[in-house]
Structure 1
Amino acid sequence: MYGGSVATPFGRRAMTLGMLANQVMAREIENGKTVDKWKLYRALCEARPLIGVTDRSLAVMSALLSFYPKDELSEVNGLVVFPSNAQLSLRSHGMTEQTIRRHLAVLVDAGLIVRKDSPNGKRYVRRNRAGAIDDAYGFSLAPLLARADEIERLAAQVTAERLHLLRLRERLTLCRRDVAKLLETAVEEGATGDWEVVGLHFRALVTALPRTPAPDVLMTALEEMEMLREAITNRLEMHIDSRKLSGNPFQNERHIQNSHTDSTSESEPACKTTRGTQSELHPPAILAPNEPESADHGKHGVKNARPVGEALRRRPSTAIKAFPLALVLQTCPQIADYGAGGTISTWRDLMAAAVVVRSMLGVSPDAYQQACAILGPENAATVIACILERAEHINSPGAYLRDLTRRAERCEFAIGPMLMSLARANGNSVRMAG
């Protein structure tokens, strides 16, 4: 490129190892290698975030490429362009000379061009008697040609990441729309379930998203939203099945396998059917307490049983008693900061705040749903509030919650001692309700 010599910058500009490395790389261009300059420029624009240049710097690069006489970059045609700053200003939309100098330095530091300064620092060309170029002083595009393959690879990577992010956004938008409309349908049709709590959970998932979320944040939100959509869909399907069974008396008679007119619930354990049905719901708060039995629901639950359903079938017969809300808030004051408006006045507010804190602590939706199934939604929210108070002392809140859930399933865990321990640690004097 330079006849085997190294080109040092003119004037007070110092020579750096980066400049030397760029010149060495520019000498390693494959023989006969050619690249379409505008196709390479478009790839450079795509790869801009990974290369570390600004859009203004790319405007200067476009102006430099416009002074190259051929469409194909090649060593055969020479790779040095020598426009003046005034000419560059005209082709870079009137950019000032000071700005042009700054962005030329950015392009040199990024390893896209190399300076080939003349003895007096001017940019010009020497021609022979036949008019051919003997030597030229200005900016060499050799590094751009040498890095053509790398730039195209980086451009493909940026394009793939952008498309992946776009698809995640599309899927999340569609899922969010589905949940909103299915939730509205469930309320209008009168399907059984605590839909206000589900709505609070849905709004908490939406408001927790940042303005410009990263792909991993979008993926986590999408998984939780899809679980919520599946839960509501399953609940509506069971509501449709129950209407089919109760809406046609002749169809009902064909479903009766026993000739006796007495209810079949006397010969089949109803608790198993109900718990099998509850296994379909995410979050568990969708089910209203003391929900009526349905034989068809039982079949549906057994067919699509999930880990939360297994926990429900093993749930102790005596539910863990929920403590007064005022006592929980007095013992765990930090949870109030995550309520709507920074306050918590009802159990519903506490459960909505617990969903936000659960995500903040890194507790998986499955672990929290299982806790709701075993402890009940109110007690699960209380445990999350207690974990928040001692978060700096707990290495893995998710594993800790799963351990408490397993102990509660074996009737080896009670919330009262946990609240009392926190009260003593905080210096509060509280009386546990019996």
Structure 2
Amino acid sequence: MDNAYVTTPFGRRAMSLEMLASQQQAEEIEPGVTRNKWKLFRAICEARPALGVTDRALTVLDALLTFYPADELAEERGLIVFPSNTQLSIRARGMTAATLRRHLAVLVDAGLILRKDSANGKRYARRDRAGDVQDAFGFSLAPLLARAVEIETVAAQVVANRELLRAAKERLTICRRDIAKLIEVALEEGVGGDWVMISAIFREIVGRLPRAARVDDLTNVLDELAMLREEILNLLNKNNNFNKMSANESQVERHIQNSNSESISDLEPAFEVKQGAQSVDRGGQTNGPIDSRDENLNSGGDVGTGERRTKRSIDEGGGLKSFPLGMVLQACPEISNYGPGGQIGSWRELMSAAVVVRSMLGVSPSAYQDACSAMGPENAATVIACILERGGHINSAGGYLRDLTRRTENGEFAIGPMLMSLLRANSPVGRKAG
């Protein structure tokens, strides 16, 4: 074997433990392992940042591979190439000798090639009478074959991450375009709603994107934008349904005796009228269930309209949706003070802080356990964070949590409207307006 023993560098170049480890790794090539040298070189190019080599160093490696006589790297054929500096410089696009030496050192330090120096430092091969190479001195490509599986795995991961990043950027671009155009049409058509505030929230979310965004950064922002787009669509659909109802009533010339049959809440943004949002947005003073018939009596509407509105709210509910941790902490910054070290970085830390806040707010363990069973532990912790944020407006946190638990079991409560309300209140624009 060409690499069956340890070889030290010629001249003033010092030996290192890393070089020794690379030589030992190069000896661990599995029998019969082969790789196409150009496919392996492409994988090295893909994995270049993880391998710690420069593009100029890869140019030198490309030149070295051209001196290997076959396309398949195989231990049986020998893995030593021995070009002169002149020939290597020509195939490396005319690279100067000093630059060539520097990038050869980079390849050696990265563990992609090994030096096998002769007694006088020259590169050559000793052949037998039949012309076969008996021994060669130069650069060993054995590390490429020994690390082939590792290099291919890293390259595949780099390609997959690049595809994930590309797909996330595409979805983010489409979502941003949708929101911008939906806000524009709402302003042009005069749809009721605080579109200035919605535009400010949109700009604030987009403004949190770093210049060199990673997949996690894009995913977190995309989740928030997707929820904002959903709320805008709900608001536009509500206005569209109202217009259709008015047109139908005009067409059949239906005479309405009660001029107060529709509540003003039907014209407010969707994240204030969806299920469960009424008690929070109105200050949370009510600890018991809110009867839709009482609400219609107070607003001057008929009982039938209230029942239809309540049924529609239940049909839209479904299961509780979990929201990104970053959005919860932005909407409820007070909960971070009760996390380890005064900050929260995971759902586990949020749930631990919620247990502390639960005790502080006077919520019984049984009430919190019931909320966890009905909503899930993450959503229950989110609700505790919201109650803490609106603590000055809620008389009994325990009673309020039990009411939300009952509403969740009946499919009448969603966390989204509560979070959006607090998100607007705690945004820079919302604080300035307040």
Please report the TM-score for the alignment, with normalisation by the length of structure 1. 0.67
In the TM superposition, 1:342-361 aligns within 5 A as: none
Cα pair distance change 1:238/1:26, threshold 3 Å: same
In the TM superposition, 1:313-332 aligns within 5 A as: none
Specify which of 269, 272, 278 is matched with residue 278 of structure 1: 272
Say how many residue pairs are matched.
335
Which amino acid in structure 2 is aligned with residue 153 of structure 1?
A: T
Which position in structure 2 is the counterpart of 1:199? 199
Stretch moving more, 86-95 or 180-189: 86-95
Segments of structure 2 that go 5 or more residues without pairing to the other structure are: 282-298, 358-384, 398-434
CA distance in 1, matches of 2:115, 2:229: 59
Which amino acid in structure 1 is aligned with residue 118 of structure 2?
A: S
Paired residue secondary structure (1:94): coil
- Contact 2:10 / 2:120 at 8 angstroms: preserved in 1? yes
CA distance in 2, matches of 1:8, 1:270: 86
Which position in structure 1 is the counterpart of 2:388? 404
- CA shift, 1:262, in A, is 3.3
Paired residue secondary structure (2:125): strand
Which position in structure 2 is the counterpart of 1:56? 56
Which position in structure 2 is the counterpart of 1:6? 6
CA distance in 2, matches of 1:30, 1:393: 50
User: Relative contact order: is structure 1 or structure 2 higher (C-alpha 8 Å, sep ≥ 6)?
Assistant: 2
Which position in structure 1 is the counterpart of 2:402? none
Paired residue secondary structure (1:248): helix
Which amino acid in structure 1 is aligned with residue 392 of structure 2?
A: A
CA distance in 2, matches of 1:277, 1:225: 14
Cα pair distance change 1:64/1:217, threshold 3 Å: same
Provide Cα deviations, 1:297-351, integer angstroms capped at 9, x if missing partner.
Answer: 6654443249999xxxxxxxxxxxxxxxxxxxxxxxxxxxxxxxxxxxxxxxxxx
Which position in structure 1 is the counterpart of 2:315? 303
Segments of structure 1 that go 5 or more residues without pairing to the other structure are: 310-361, 372-383, 414-434
Cα pair distance change 1:93/1:277, threshold 3 Å: closer
Cα pair distance change 1:243/1:297, threshold 3 Å: farther
Which position in structure 1 is the counterpart of 2:30? 30
Specify which of 258, 261, 269 is matched with residue 262 of structure 1: 258
Alignment of 1:39 onto 2:35: no
Which position in structure 2 is the counterpart of 1:430? none
CA distance in 2, matches of 1:158, 1:270: 54
Provide Cα deviations, 1:256-285, integer angstroms capped at 9, x if missing partner.
Answer: 9xxx833574xx98879979872449x99x
- CA shift, 1:23, in A, is 1.3
CA distance in 1, matches of 2:389, 2:88: 70
- CA shift, 1:408, in A, is 3.3
CA distance in 2, matches of 1:251, 1:170: 44
Cα pair distance change 1:104/1:43, threshold 3 Å: same
Which position in structure 2 is the counterpart of 1:317? none
In the TM superposition, 1:222-261 aligns within 5 A as: 222-249=222-249, 261=257
In the TM superposition, 1:100-115 aligns within 5 A as: 100-115=100-115
Which amino acid in structure 2 is aligned with residue 261 of structure 1?
A: Q
Provide Cα deviations, 1:149-208, integer angstroms capped at 9, x if missing partner.
Answer: 111111101111111111111110000000000110111111110101111111122222
Which amino acid in structure 1 is aligned with residue 391 of structure 2?
A: R
Q: Which runs of 4+ in 1 moved over 3 A?
A: 250-254, 260-265, 268-277, 291-302, 305-309, 366-369, 386-401
Which position in structure 2 is the counterpart of 1:91? 91
- CA shift, 1:18, in A, is 1.4
